[in-house]
Chain A
Amino acid sequence: MSRIVTLQQSIMAEDERFAAAIRESNERRGLLMVNMIGSPGCGKTTLLERTAQSSGLSFGVIEGDLATNRDAERLDRLGVPVVQVNTHGGCHLEANVIEKAMESLPLDSLDVLFVENVGNLVCPAEFDLGEDFKAALLSTPEGADKPLKYPYLFSSSKVVLLTKIDLLPYLPFDMKMFSEDVKKLNPEAPVISVNGMTGEGVQEWTDLLREKIREKKTHAR
Chain B
Amino acid sequence: MHEVSLAESIAASLIDLKKEQGWGRIVEVRLRIGALRQVFPEILCFAFETLTKGTELEGAGLAIDDVPISFRCRDCGACWAGDDSLCPECGSMHRETVAGNELEIESVEVEEQI
* Interface contact B13-A13, CB-CB below 8 Å: yes
Cα A187 to Cα B104 with chains together (Å): 27
Instruction: Tell whether, in the assembled complex, residue B9 and residue A14 are in contact, meaning their CB atoms are under 8 Å apart.
Output: yes
- Interface flags for B17-40 (1: CB within 8 Å of A; 0: not) read 100010100010001000011100
Q: Would B36 and A155 count as touching, CB distance under 8 A? A: yes
Q: A3-B109, A126-B38, A183-B85 are in contact. Are A10 and B104 (CB under 8 A)?
A: yes
- Chain B nearest CB, measured from A186 CB (Å): 8
Judging by beta carbons under 8 Å apart, are A152 and B2 in contact?
Answer: no
- Given the interface pairs A184-B85, A187-B85, the reply to whether A92 lies near B2 with Cβ below 8 Å is yes
Known pairs A126-B37, A187-B85; A2 contacts B104 (CB<8 A): no
Chain A residues with a Cβ closer than 8 Å to the other chain, count:
32
Is A188 touching B9 in the complex (CB atoms < 8 A)?
no
Tell me if B99 is interfacial: C-beta within 8 Å of chain A. Answer: no
B10 CB within 8 Å of chain A: yes
- B12 CB–A CB distance under 8 Å: yes
A218 within 8 A of B: no
B6 touches A11 (CB 8 A): yes
Q: Is the interface of A mostly helix, strand, loop or mixed?
A: mixed
B21, B38, B103, B106: the one contacting A6 at CB < 8 Å is B106
* Cβ–Cβ < 8 Å partners of B95 in chain A: 187
Nearest neighbor of B24 in chain A, beta-carbon distance: A2
**B83 close to A (CB within 8 Å):** yes
Beta-carbon contact of B106 and A12 below 8 Å: no
B86 contacts A by Cβ under 8 Å: yes
Identify which of residues 1-30 in chain A touch chain B, using a CB-to-CB cut-off of 8 Å.
1-15
CA distance A75 to B108 in the complex (A): 48
Q: Which of B31, B104, B108 contacts A4 (CB 8 A)?
A: B108
Contact between B110 and A126, CB atoms less than 8 A apart: no
Asked if B105 is at the interface of the complex by the 8 Å CB criterion, the answer is yes
How distant is A128 from chain B, measured CB to nearest CB, in Å? Answer: 11
A191 an interface residue at 8 Å Cβ cutoff? Answer: no
CA distance A85 to B7 in the complex (A): 24
Are A91 and B31 interface neighbours, CB within 8 A?
Answer: no
A-side contacts of B103, CB under 8 Å: 10-12
Q: Given A8-B104, A122-B38, are A185 and B85 also a contact pair (CB < 8 Å)?
A: yes
The residue that A91 contacts in the complex, of B2, B105, B107, with Cβ under 8 A, is B2
Jot down 16 A-B pairs with beta carbons below 8 A, ordered by A. Answer: A2-B110, A2-B111, A3-B112, A5-B107, A11-B9, A11-B31, A11-B104, A11-B105, A12-B6, A14-B9, A14-B12, A123-B1, A126-B1, A155-B36, A156-B36, A184-B85
Given contacts A1-B112, A11-B104, A187-B85, 4 further A-B contacts (CB under 8 A): A5-B110, A10-B104, A151-B36, A185-B83
